[in-house]
Amino acid sequence: MKILVLNGSPKGKYSITLQTLLYLEKRCPEHNFQILHVGRQIKSIEKDFSDVADSINNTDLIVFSYPVYTFIAPSQLHRFIELLKESGMDLSGKFATQITTSKHFFDVTAHQYIMDNCQDLGLKYIKGLSADMDDLLTEDGQKNAKDFFEYVCWCVKRDVYETIHNHATPAKNRPISSVELSEEEKSIENDIVIVTDCAKDDRQLSDMINRFRAVLKYKSRVINIADYPFGGGCLGCFHCAATGKCIYRDGFDEFLRSDIQTADAIVYAFTIKDHSMGSTFKKYDDRRFCDGHRMVTMGKPTGYLVSGNYASETNLQMIIEARCEVGGKFLAGVASDETDPDTEIDRLAQRLDYAIKHKYTQPKNFYGVGGMKIFRDLTWLLRGLMKADHRFYKKHGFYDFPQKKIGTVLKMHLVGALISSPKLKVKIGNKMDEKIIAPYKKVIESE
């Protein structure tokens, strides 16, 4: 596969983000990588876009590579996208994704920016990788990069890409076609649970669930929470945080653990009501409070079937993504009935299948990292009350306070002193950049 890397960093070859692409290039020799330093060379590209156009025309996959600057991509990459749109090139049918490095401060808005522009350009967008600046220096980070690239290659091969709902034309009650895999085609090795509050007269949502179950390669079961005898909504009493048990005696905590959380993947299905999932589903979400603080379903792929004008519900879109991110779950996708429900449902089933088979996860973005820091600090502060949460956080090493990283603090004092000296800064020149990426080069050249 021909892969074109559009390096939007103004640092060019010294970009930390670029090192992840160089790492993948070294380990995937069967693919042809071409790197254009569009951020560094933006002035010359403004004068002559022809070489860039030739490279784009001759590629199968475009990878936007850049550091997150102030909530979004660097201005140089903004300018490049302006030039790309002004060129009038027909990019329809080509695939695109992105790789960023940052400390996860609003990486979500940067990724949304690229995703929206890919939609404008007619590109088939595949969800990108948001890595920490130091991830490539760790075994987990290297694995995440390789797993991500394998996932992207799978998406290109299977023609599976994201539906960007905020650009869709909403039209509820699109017809859902009927299709069925034979029993022999379905696997019994995995347990997929579909949690819904579908009413008997909600034909649209019911058809979406039936379509999904029909094309899914696994046996599945449906749990309708509208039938569950809830004793009431969450009271915010923190009893579960202290003891691990709910104060209600309606058996919901045991039902949650034995009937839902044991599944290999969870799919939620609901019809939008009042710009949300409705009171019944919210009661369910509130009562699984323990799965908010304690992330007990970490690693489980998750999907959504949503009937309604999902395209206009930006807040609901954020809630769904953030819940998965904080919970450490791969969001396999949200299929809605706005435009082409059959295709969306089929792609959701395919991505869920991939995630289950490959145990695929991605690093947390701003929602996950920021949310966890809040929960971490809150649990530490209230550990005398939130005893069950405290035990869970200690067991999983979530107390990763920055003051523990004394070596990094001292190193940054030294770097700060060097940068603060004009004479030393001139004398060092590019040696500082070379020094910064030296550990990454070591990883790239290893093996």
List, in sequence order, every residue forming a beta bridge with 335; answer none if it has no partner.
Answer: 305
User: How many CA within 13 A on the CB side of residue 268?
Assistant: 22
Indicate whether 418 pLDDT > 80.
no
Tell me which DSSP letter residue 7 carries.
E
CATH number at residue 61: 3.40.50.360
Contact 366, 105 (CB under 8 A): yes
- Contact (Cβ atoms closer than 8 angstroms) between residue 275 and residue 316: yes
* Residue 402 identity: P
pLDDT-based confidence at residue 412 (cuts at 50, 70, 90): confident
- What secondary structure does DSSP assign to 381-423, as a single string? HTTTT-HHHHHHHHHTT----GGG-HHHHHHHHHHHHHHH-HH
Position 387 in a domain:
no
Q: Is residue 372 part of a domain?
A: no
Does residue 77 form part of some domain? yes
Kindly state whether residues 171 and 158 are assigned to the same domain: no
Res. 436: pLDDT tops 90: no
| Mean local confidence (pLDDT), 331-354 | 95
Residues 306 and 357 in one domain: yes
- 211 and 357 in a common domain: yes
- Examine the domain organization and report whether 149 and 255 are in the same domain: no
- Give the mean pLDDT of 395-415: 88
Residue 226 falls inside a structural domain = yes
**What domain count does the chain have?**
3
Looking at 120, 135, 162, the residue that finishes a domain is: 162
Which helix H or strand E contains 112, and what residues bound it? helix 107-120
Say yes or no: 147 and 112 in one domain.
Answer: yes
Least confident of 112-121, 281-290, 342-351: 281-290
With a pLDDT cut of 70, the percent of the chain lying above it is 94
| From 35-44, 148-157, 317-326, 427-436, the region with the lowest mean pLDDT | 427-436
Q: Do residue 298 and residue 357 come from a single domain?
A: yes
Are residues 150 and 186 part of one domain? Answer: no
Residues 49 and 157 in one domain: yes
In the chain, what are the helix, strand and coil shares in percent, each to the nearest 5?
50, 15, 35
Helix-helix angle 431-445:16-27, to 10 degrees: 30
HSE at residue 90, side-chain half, CA atoms within 13 A, is 1
Q: Are residues 183 and 326 in the same domain?
A: yes
Q: What is the pLDDT of residue 182?
A: 63
Rounded-to-integer distance, Cα 434 and Cα 439, Å: 9
> Quick one: pLDDT at residue 166?
65
Take residue 316 and report the two structure tokens written for it.
Answer: 């609901």
| Mean pLDDT to the nearest integer, 152-159 | 97
Same domain, 145 and 185: no
328 neighbors 361 (Cβ within 8 angstroms): yes
Model confidence at 244, pLDDT cuts 50, 70, 90, reads confident
Q: Is residue 414 part of a domain?
A: yes
Average pLDDT over residues 236-253: 87
Which value, in Å, is the radius of gyration of the alpha carbons in the chain?
Answer: 24
pLDDT score, position 245: 84
In a domain, 390, yes or no: no
| Cβ neighbour number for residue 3 with a 10 Å cutoff | 24
Q: Does residue 124 fall inside a structural domain?
A: yes
Of 162, 186, 210, the residue at which a domain comes to its end is 162
Cβ atoms within 10 A of the Cβ of 362, count?
Answer: 22
Residue at which a domain ends, from 140, 162, 184:
162
Span 350-379, average pLDDT: 95
Highest mean pLDDT among 121-125, 414-418, 420-424: 121-125
d(Cα 115, Cα 19) in Å, to the nearest integer? 22
At 416, give phi and psi (nearest 5°): -60, -40
Residue 410's domain spans which residues? 403-445
Q: How far apart are CA 269 and CA 256, in angstroms?
A: 17
231 and 360 fall within a common domain: yes
Asked, for residue 393, whether it belongs to a domain, the answer is no
Residues 253 and 141 in one domain: no
Q: Once rounded to an integer, what is the mean pLDDT over residues 310-331?
A: 95
